[in-house]
Amino acid sequence: MTQGNDPVLRVRPPRSQPDLFTILGIVLSLSLVAGAIAMGNSNASFLDIPSILIVILGTITATSISYTGEEIRNVWGILASALARRVRKPSVMARQLMDIAALARKKGTLILSSLDGELRRDPLIHRAMQMVIDGYTGDDIDRVLGQEIDSLVERHRRSASILRRASEIAPAMGLIGTLVGLVQMLSSLDDPSSIGPAMALALLTTFYGAIMGMVILGPLAGKLERNSNDEAMIRVLIMNAAISIARQENPRRLEMIINSELPPDERIKYFD
């Protein structure tokens, strides 16, 4: 029989949510550059398909040298995870974990088995609590989930490194394209009137390379590294809760540990 003042467990499933600021940031940055071009009152064309192709394709082919086919095919998934991510608010997660810990403290860890339906709504919580149910010790959970977090961070780091490397190669491809244009222009200086437009054309690849590398790929790589930190923090919270429950510690101690990992405005006050 459940008493009235029992915590009622509600696990909120993680929502996959597009990062508006990331998408907006790219759109607005490109619009700003387009606006700057439009305001120039010049008949200069900034659209040169071959230049765009050599920078974009060259960045892709030169980046793929450092990776395997599998990783390159996976790049869309990586880009997607930079634009949208599974959001778990730390304070909400902390409260859920406290609910679980309080329940386990009151009714024993066996109660967790009967909560399977609710726990299953967040796969990370489910996996950690399943280890508690299966009788793993706190040390085992520490080792296994800690190693998982390390592997996760390492995988995220490698994913971000693809974009990071591409962001370094894009300006290089732009420079190479400009060198090609310069050499061709310099080889035939017969018609002085063609020098200006030829140089303008040559500079376009540098322009595309700078935008691709510094406005799109570089910041997206930074976004991935940032998202990785967030997910690692959530997983550390869940791991610490599972360890604490497996060790049958007082939930007040867990609250203290969880709060020490949260930023001040996300800290919870579970017990009065």
Q: Which residues, numbered 48-67, are part of the site for its own copies (CB under 8 A)? A: 50, 53-54, 57-58, 61-67
251 contacts its own copies (rule: CB under 8 A): no
For its own copies, the binding residues in 208-227 under the rule CB under 8 A are 210-211, 214-216, 219-220, 222-223, 226
CB atoms closer than 10 angstroms to residue 8: 9
Instruction: Give the amino acid at 223.
Output: K
Residue of 10, 13, 42, 116 that binds its own copies (CB under 8 A):
42
Judged by CB under 8 A, the residue of 94, 169, 241, 242 near its own copies is: 169
Outline where the chain has alpha helix (H): 20-39, 49-64, 69-73, 75-83, 90-107, 111-114, 116-119, 123-133, 138-187, 195-210, 218-246, 251-261
75 part of the interface to its own copies, by CB under 8 A: no
Take residue 75 and report the two structure tokens written for it: 């790049």
Binding segment for its own copies (CB under 8 A), chosen from 3-11, 105-113, 202-210, 242-250, is 202-210
Residues 6+ apart with CB under 8 A from 219: 25, 26
Question: Smallest gap, in angstroms, from Cβ of residue 100 to its own copies?
Answer: 21
Cα(129)–Cα(112) distance, rounded to whole angstroms? 7
128 Cβ contact partners less than 8 Å away, ≥ 6 residues apart: 141, 145, 238, 239, 241, 242
Q: Rule CB under 8 A: choose which of 203, 247, 249, 268 binds its own copies.
A: 203
Q: Minimum Å distance from CB 235 to its own copies?
A: 12
What type of residue is 194?
A: S
Residue 135, interface with its own copies (CB under 8 A)?
A: no
For its own copies, which residue of 139, 189, 248, 250 counts as binding (CB under 8 A)?
Answer: 189
